[in-house]
Amino acid sequence: MKIRAYAKINLALDVVRRREDGFHDLEMIMAPIFLHDLVMVDVIDEGIEITTNNKIIPTDSRNIVYKVAALLIERFQLKKGVKIQIFKHIPMQAGLAGGSADGAAVLRAMNRLFHLNLSLDELAKLGAEVGSDIPFCVYQQFAFVSGRGEYLDFFDASLDDDILLVKPRRGVPTKFAFQNLHIHHCDHPNCRQMRYAIETGDHETMIHCLGNSLEESSFKMVPEIGEIKKELLALGFDGALMSGSGSCVFALTKDKALLEKGYAAMKKKYPFVLRTRFKMPEEF
């Protein structure tokens, strides 16, 4: 079975507080985009076999896809195994949920292949046991996300902005971004206002609400992230922001000529540059 695993960007990410268990409560506006990995899942006699076109990615139990498959096999006492092929297009350590998207794709594929008849809600609950971004990636819809990522409140959106993605060579481990966060001094965007702006088509307010609490800590590890953001804004993009914990930056515009100009300029300097757009709600 072939399935597409779509990436996401965070239009707003607010780290609300540090919890007693060491994790953080978040509020986020998450949006699916058309950048995707291609995941192929087939039933085999036993075990979990993973292959990928990216030699850096582990193919054993360290891989989030392996963990998802193992969880389903154990939880539902499946008598067969799976062979999973991952064709990566989403860069690693970019803040685009590439691994979580792949994990969600495997959940959906195995649900069909093994006739588990699980709802999306049930798949999301299972995915949350493995990774906090997997629930969002199961649904692939615009959402106000809270908690550690397990609470999703979907809303209607119709955004026609073009998106330019730019990632420097170095990535940012999510753990580093949170460990080096100064929660009382970082940016705290208004995610509720961002949601309202998107729902009402208030583009100016949406751009004003772009913000990410993790930018400051991630900039310290990879200064190029901040430089990319400044370059994109200087080119004339309506807004630019680091997605997730980085290191990918996205820029928004409705000007096709500017999109092409920005693409050409960034392509000369950075290893990953891509033009894409928002993925609107649709049936799987």
SS3 74: helix
Question: How far is the C-alpha of 77 from the C-alpha of 114, rounded, in Å?
Answer: 11
Q: Among all chains, which residue has been given the structure tokens 């550690």?
A: 148
Contact 107, 162 (CB under 8 A): no
Closest by CA to 161, choosing from 101, 199, 230, 207, is: 207
Alpha helices in 19-88 (DSSP H): 64-75
List the catalytic residue out of 14, 37, 133, 238.
Answer: 133
Closest by CA to 39, choosing from 66, 11, 16, is: 66
Structure tokens at 185: 């001094």
Question: Is 8 annotated in the active site?
Answer: yes
Eight-state DSSP code of residue 278: B
Q: Among all chains, which residue has been given the structure tokens 């772009």?
A: 210
Strand order of the sheet with strand 162-167? 239-242, 249-253, 162-167, 272-277
CA distances from 186 to 15, 175, 180, 218, 277 (A): 9, 17, 11, 11, 28
HSE (CB half, 13 Å, CA atoms) of 144?
14
Question: Is 160 annotated in the active site?
Answer: no
Q: Which element (helix H / strand E) includes 2?
A: strand 2-18
Report, as residue numbers or ranges, the catalytic residues: 8, 133
